[in-house]
Every structure is written in structure tokens, then in C-alpha cells.
Amino acid sequence: MKMIVIADDFTGSNDTGVQLAKKGARTEVMLSASQKPSRRADVLVINTESRAMPADQAASAVYAALSPWCETSPAPLVYKKIDSTFRGNIGAEVTAAMRASQRKLAVIAAAIPAAGRTTREGKCLVNGVPLLETEFASDPKTPIVSSRIAEIVALQSELPVYEVFLQDVRRGGLSALLTAYAAEGEGIIVVDAVEERDLTLIAQAACEQPSMPLLVGAAGLANALPVELFMQDRQRLPAAGTGGGRFSGCRYWWWPVR
């Protein structure tokens, strides 16, 4: 198992799983943490269904689901899937995932530029409109209280939250900043992204770290990850669109059919 994705709802599980399957990974989405994956899987996606839970319960669910998979050597890449409009228990679940995976840093880049979801100067924008001014702010189960991502995260986490703006990403300064933040201790870093190339730069900077941070994002950042991070062997497989998927019990499998 090269990569573990932990998501807070079923739709998010599938969104990210499909992105990785399209790049050739054998991806398995589990509907509960108690299920056992196939040995064939490159990527295991676990749905905790915790978006609308109280924060402490959501944190416990994430920790319990993720920690057993992080006791192996070498440890897998861990990707915390969140909603691109930051609904749910963002701070609590990111912190729990950091603890379970023993990561000092978490890098949050939840932009999906193709869907109009971007991050600029630390704020989440939906088609250019600040998040708090959109219909997502009044979600009945998980209402939004700020457009500023750092403020949303800090509501449920005691860890320091930093912001890296677009100019530093595009000037190639993100890798050095991540290294500096790691030297200071634990922290959560919110990173701007307006275009697909920004997500690629973020993924590259994360890969350059001596210790891979916890990656936090939506389908956009997952799609930007190099295949070497999550393939069992480094030979690229045919795209998922040339194969097929199937249901097996309560599991959803998706891998290219050879």
C-alpha cells in the first residue's frame, strides 16, 4: 500500500479515488475502517463519514481509521481529503491525521481551479466570490464562519497556522518555507492556488521535503501528485477509462483491466 486517503464523506472518497485511478493506480474505496483491502491496491481510500459529526468525534474517527495504516515501514503517503469549500471539521480532522501519521506539518491546498474553487491571500473563493458570501456559508449542517482558511482551521486546532501566498508559490519559495516551518515544530500551512500549475508546484515542494508532510486537499491536489508517490511499481498503467470498475460486497474497487 503506497498511499492512504482519508475522507469525511462518500462523495469525497470517490472524487479523489477516481482522480488517482485515472492516473493508473489500483484504487480501493472502503466504506468503513473495519474492512480489509486487497493486496493489489496501490491506494486505499477510507471514508469516515465524519463531516457532520461533533469535532471531537470526528477527530477520534480519523485517528482510529488512519493510525493502524501508519505503523508499517515504510509508512505510506497520507492524503487528507477535505471539502473544497471547507465544510466539516477541518481543524479537528487535520490535527488528528497529523497525530495518527506522525507528521509535523500539514499542507492545505484545497483549490479546484477547473471548478472555480481557488485560494488567494489565504481566502477561499468560489468563482471569485469570497466563501462567506456564497450559498455554502449557510450550509445547515456545517455552516461556514469565515472566508479565511486559517481562521476556519484555527477554530478546531491549537497548532499554529501559517499562510503562504501565491507569489511565494510561483517564485519557487514554498519548499524553503516548508523546511523552515518544520524546523520550528508542528504547524499547518495554508497555501494559495489559483491555477492547476500552482497545485503542481505545491506537490513538487512537498515532495522535496526530508519528511513528507500530511497533504490536505480536494481532488485538485490529488490530481497534481506525481504517480511515483502512489504506484506499487513505477510503471504507469493504462488509464482507468480503458478498464472498468466493480462492486464487491461493501467495497468499491477501481483498477485498469489488463
Tens-digit pLDDT profile for residues 202-253: 999 999 999 999 999 999 999 999 988 887 654 444 444 434 333 232 333 4
Instruction: Name the strands in the sheet holding 161-164, side by side, starting at the edge strand that comes first in the sequence.
Output: 161-164, 187-191, 105-109, 214-217, 77-81, 3-7, 43-47, 27-30, 251-255, 244-248
* Residue that is written with C-alpha cell 469535532 in the block: 55
Structural domains of the chain, with CATH = 3-255 (3.40.50.10840)
* Residue that is written with C-alpha cell 463531516 in the block: 51
Report pLDDT for 232.
62
Whether residue 106 is predicted with pLDDT greater than 50 in this model: the reply is yes
For the ranges 65-69, 116-120, 146-150, the lowest mean pLDDT is seen at 65-69
Whether residue 87 is predicted with pLDDT greater than 50 in this model: the reply is yes
For the ranges 30-34, 72-76, 165-169, 172-176, the lowest mean pLDDT is seen at 30-34
- In angstroms, rounded to a whole number, what is the distance separating the alpha carbons of residues 176 and 50? 34
> Which is higher by pLDDT, 252 or 157?
157
- In angstroms, rounded to a whole number, what is the distance separating the alpha carbons of residues 209 and 103? 12
- In angstroms, rounded to a whole number, what is the distance separating the alpha carbons of residues 21 and 195? 22
Set of cell numbers at residue 160: 499554529
Report pLDDT for 33.
63
| β 129-130/123-126 pair status | antiparallel
Q: How many CB atoms lie within 10 A of CB 87?
A: 21
Q: For residues 180, 183, 185 and 190, what is the CA-based torsion angle, rounded to 10 degrees?
A: 20
Tens-digit pLDDT profile for residues 125-144: 999 999 999 999 998 889 99
